[in-house]
Chains A and B, each alone.
Chain A
Amino acid sequence: MSGQRVDAKVVMLGKEYVGKTSLVERYVHNRFLVGPYQNTIGAAFVAKVMSVGGQTVTLGIWDTAGSERYEAMSRIYYRGAKAAIVCYDLTDSSSFQRAKFWVNELQNFEENCRIYLCGTKSDLLDEDRRKREIDFHDVQDYADEIKAELFETSSKTGQNVDELFQRVAEDYVSTAFEMSEEKGLDLNQKNPNTYFYSCCHH
């Protein structure tokens, strides 16, 4: 029996259908599933071990449904998150309004959560540039304003997906390092705020 520790909680937020599940799927399993849309029910958790500068970091990723139905309960999914990947569909302007809603939520309830704005389905723009409904520079201005990072990704081609999660992990490690310097904490010491997630290895 061996346990695995989740270092950083990462939450995927955004309107239904923007491509959150596909993003996780591409990142964790390096694949893109085609076929009829399967909306996420509630939320799905998956742990992913990665390495940042020789150090291993386990991301505990919460892929939320994004439906209004459980909005009142969505806090359980983002509470204590170190990073939030707030997704919008580059070809659907309404999804950006929804992204702003999540940014507000995070600013109000999770001050310490880093925000990563993620414009999805960039491959659709490669096919036809007129499909873009969200201007890159407008979002960049918004991102600067809320101190967020901005990525445009495609889960279909894999473009920018690893970069996004790598950045999330790097930021986590450097913040954790800063914090440990400030407070003089040992990085290897158990942080009471992190969850412990176990998984079997045989």
Chain B
Amino acid sequence: MAADVYKQKNEDVPNGSLVPPDRQHAERSESPTPGLAQGTEPGAGQEGAMFVHAKSYEDLTGADNQDVIPRSPYQTEGAQDELTKMEEISKDFSELSTQLTGIALDLEEEIRQNEEDKLDLSPQASRRDSVLSGEEEEDVTMETWRMHQKHVFVLSEAGKPVYSRYGSEEALSSTMGVMMALVSFLEAEKNAIRSIHADGYKVVFVRRSPLVLVAVAKTRQSEQEIAQELLYIYYQIVSLLTWTQLNRIFQQKQNYDLRRLLAGSERITNNLIDLMARDPSFLMGAARCLPMPAGIRDAVSSCLQQAKAKSLVFAILLSKNQLVSLVRKKDQFLHPIDLHLLFNLISSSSSFREGEAWTPICLPKFNSSGFFHAHISYLEQNTDLCLVLISTDREDFFTVSDCKRKFQERLKKRGVYHALLEALHTPFYSASQVGIPELRHFIYKSKSSGLFTSPEIDVPYITEEEKERLLGLYQYLHSRAHNSSRPLHNIYYTGPNENLLAWVTSAFELYVCFSPLGTKATALTAVNKLMKWIRKEEDQLFILSPQTY
């Protein structure tokens, strides 16, 4: 077993393939099609999913229209209409192109506008860096705070400041007073979302009683996306306090100053906002897997599964916001939002590198009324491998700590520990491994598993700005694809710097970035090839056999 595992080094495998042919699943369809049923797409787990099924913006849509998935006229229905041939897909896209000129123009314009903005933004960009590194509070009387790309405020329904992304909440409370006036028109509805556009800004309000969250954004993001980010911040606060406690506090005292209880958590919320701008996990509503040979992952998962304890509900092994393995109690499913909150918590503080942390945590989508206890520790001082053990019993620290020890011992005994560490050296693969010259980057999400895969963002997206710009383009396509009034399932966009393609079916979502030299025809061939490649590599790129207790 061990020897077998060691052989599977990425570099040894020719043709950009990550896996030896004997590991591939012959029984799974090689060329997925739009008609592919959920659960058979590349990346779909063989024994069911680890996550709760999450739909894009599920929390933003009212309960009444939640079950109705709007269909575009371009989506095919029923087996007889299945688009199995490339000509048909290509016809589908060409039909779209007329309609999409508008979008392309509008997108280009926005990009151009953004580039112009960048010039006057630069002094403030460096300002932002100084804010993040230093502890000094910003002088709010300066105009600077208004020049930030996105402000986020959280306040209580009584108008008391709870959180502000930049500057001190105290000095901003007068501004907040103005905002409260704006919010008052929301009073009729309890969980309302509204937005206004002014001066090139989008102001988005999300009300989740007893809190009101406000974003003032200069980004290209849609209202839906901004509202979704605000909801994440709301859930972040709930994860620290529980929904029950949050409500009890404000029922007892309407003008309670919540900052007392949230003291020290600003770092976590700041980190969340920064992460949402960089990490596509949030946009995709899915978890990204660390690519590794399936044999090693399976061995790691079974070691993790064997180190169990009665009170354990979830065991999560991760490395820098990428999932390595997840074991869950049978019948218990994690929601991607809860997993993202855990990832964010861990990446927001280096304090977990010391000793073993044992902290109360609420997973709001799992159960917003109570706390779990999380045992958080790194496997070794100098690795990024972090183990999170979620327990129902706050008195169970030593039992849970023992599970970690058993897990580590078993890893070493089975000889997979080194292979695991090895896999961490190559946490990303390159888009060039797919073997499509014009392919620059892609994001592929398997809907049934709630997992996605994406290569490293590489040339020409070198700088942070360029990387965020690419993510911005994906965000834009995503928002077009999921627009609640008129969703699009196929989008092909040609721009001056790159061509992009989005393809959303009931089984998967695919966003691809090509060099601007390619044509639509080459893009379509490429997508077909890419899907085959993903299918071929799926057992490395995804967790196909998740374990349960």
Contact = CB atoms under 8 A, between A and B. Distances in A.
B411 to A, nearest CB: 11
Nearest to A196: B398
A25 B354 contact: yes
Interface residues of B, number: 36
A195 B240 CA distance: 28
A1 B371 CA distance: 33
Contacts of A16: 263-264
Contacts of A70: 359-360
B458 interface: no
Given A37-B135, A73-B394, A200-B408, A45 B401 contact: yes
B68 interface: no
Given A38-B350, A41-B345, A197 B357 contact: no
Given A69-B240, A200-B408, A200-B409, A41 B357 contact: yes
Contacts of A196: 398
A41 B263 contact: no
A65 B394 contact: no
Interface string A38-50: 1111111110000
Interface residues of A, number: 31
Contacts of A37: 135
A37 B267 CA distance: 10
Interface in B382-419: 394-395, 397-398, 401-402, 405, 408-409, 412
Interface in A3-47: 16, 21, 24-25, 36-46
A161 B241 CA distance: 35
A63 interface: yes
Interface in A143-201: 195-200
B274 to A, nearest CB: 14
Interface string B409-436: 1001000000000000000000000000
A42 B354 contact: no
A43 B398 contact: no
Interface string A68-100: 111001001000000000000000000000000
A39 B349 contact: yes
A43 B350 CA distance: 13
Contacts of B133: 36
A202 interface: yes
Contacts of B355: 24, 44-46, 63
A140 interface: no
A76 B395 contact: yes
A46 B354 contact: yes
Contacts of B267: 39
B354 A68 contact: no
A58 interface: no
Contacts of B240: 69
B57 interface: no
Contacts of A24: 354-355
B359 A69 contact: no
B263 A44 contact: no
B352 interface: yes
A24 B351 CA distance: 12
Nearest to A44: B355
B356 interface: yes
A69 B263 contact: yes
Contacts of B358: 42-45
Nearest to A71: B261
Contacts of B241: 69
Contacts of B356: 44-46
A41 B359 contact: yes
The 4 closest A-B pairs by CB, nearest first: A42-B359, A46-B355, A39-B264, A44-B355
Given A36-B133, A42-B357, A42-B360, 11 more contacts: A21-B354, A38-B350, A40-B357, A41-B349, A42-B358, A44-B352, A44-B358, A45-B356, A65-B264, A195-B398, A196-B398
Interface of B: 133, 135, 240-241, 260-265, 267, 345, 349-352, 354-361, 371, 374, 394-395, 397-398, 401-402, 405, 408-409, 412
10 contacts: A16-B264, A41-B357, A42-B360, A42-B361, A43-B357, A44-B351, A46-B356, A63-B354, A67-B264, A69-B263
